């Protein structure tokens, strides 16, 4: 989860660390913007976090109780 005091450079460092560990898909949950992003090869904003191979999907509304 992205906290209000996280710096972009620190987030990028953590993403690189997770990729080095072999994590294939990293979700960024931004509580300030109430937004989700997924990092695979690049960071892209998404309307939901999805793991289709497991039938899992979660939206920002579900995370923050807006649905």
Distance CA 67, CA 53 (A): 24
Mean pLDDT, consecutive 10-residue stretches, the chain (67 aa), reads 71 84 86 83 80 92 82
Secondary structure E strands in the chain: 26-30, 35-39, 43-46, 49-51, 56-58
Q: Model's pTM, two decimal places?
A: 0.51
pLDDT of residue 2: 63
Ranges of each domain in the chain: 8-63
- Cα 12 to chain centroid, rounded: 12
């Amino acid at each position: 989860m992205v906290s209000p005091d996280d710096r972009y450079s620190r987030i990028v460092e953590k993403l690189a660390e997770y990729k080095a560990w072999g994590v294939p898909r990293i979700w960024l949950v931004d509580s300030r913007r109430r937004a989700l992003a997924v990092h695979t090869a690049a960071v892209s904003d998404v309307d939901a976090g999805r793991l289709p191979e497991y039938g899992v999907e979660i939206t920002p509304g579900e995370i923050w109780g807006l649905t």
